[in-house]
Amino acid sequence: MNLHGWIDAYMSHLHVERALTKNTLDAYGHDLARLAGTVGDVDPARIDSAAIARLLVDNIATGFGARSSARQLSALRGFFRFLVRERAIEGDPTSLVDRPQLGRRLPRVLSFEEMQRLLAAPDATKDRGARDAAMFHLMYASGLRVTELVSLRVDDLDLARGVVMPLGKGGKRRLVPVGEVALSMLTHYIKNVRPRALKKPTSALFVSPSCGRFSRQGFWRLLKRYATAAGIRTPISPHKLRHSFATHLVRGGADLRAVQAMLGHADLGTTEIYTHVARDQVRAAHAKAHPRA
């Protein structure tokens, strides 16, 4: 079996056995297609470390940054390790290729004051405003990914216990506390607003104007509109709410392991970046306010 056949087998493995999301599968497929476009539909045993290095060098000419190349190399390593396990090749050619050097890029977050303005932007006295306020409060209170938020079912929220159970990466569920303010918003939405919005049965927690689930893009547009109305000039995205949730927790003294569990990070190192963000914000505040700074 040549390269294209092995790529198809690996993609099936990722989809069936590892249950990766569509977006992640698309990214893997794109990276492996770039490999096939460079070396052709050859026997994988003929691909050596020099071919992998050429692909990464070609990335520079096509405008790939170091971070994109590092992600691509990670995808290729997973593929070749799969081939080694399947005994299609004897050794992993990516093992001799160095990972591109990355500068530490800290996530940009909203300030607490900006976050307060955003949460107050929806008019909660109206049905749509109450729904939007419930979504924003839940996302900020629990640090959900946008895909997790729009995929929530009514049964994924336990009002009595005050927890939400999002379906995260790899099909794994986790328990995340909601908090009293967000819980109050959600209770009002579920009991008083959502029943009026339903025109057909659905398990979706948050109902779009078409009575279906919100799309990721639909939530993004909603967020941008409210951010503009709230006078927030910082570039906004759904993931920035997740970054803000984690950074504000760390700044408040939350245990890093607890933040890791709430975010659903497999590696504590991924969570540790928020300690750097919090420290940088403290330094900036000191430099701005202290007379001897």
What residues act catalytically? 145, 169, 239, 242, 265, 274
Helix (H) or strand (E) holding 130: helix 127-142
With b for 16 or more beta-carbon neighbours within 10 A and e for fewer, the 165-190 pattern comes to: bbbbbeeeebebebeeebbebbebbe
147, 21 Cβ separation under 8 angstroms = yes
The vertex-49 CA angle with 48 and 51, nearest 5°, equals 70
Three-class secondary structure of residue 293 per DSSP: coil
- Kindly write down the DSSP assignment for every residue of 78-122, as one continuous string: HHHHHHHHTTS-SS-GGGGSPPPP----PPP---HHHHHHHHH-S
**CA–CA dist 28, 76 (Å, integer):** 8
- Kindly write down the DSSP assignment for every residue of 4-58, as one continuous string: HHHHHHHHHHHHHTS---HHHHHHHHHHHHHHHHHH-S--GGG--HHHHHHHHHH
Query: With left for phi above 0 and alpha for psi between -120 and 50, is residue 28 left, alpha or beta?
Result: alpha
Please name the amino acid found at residue 13: H
254, 262 Cβ separation under 8 angstroms = no
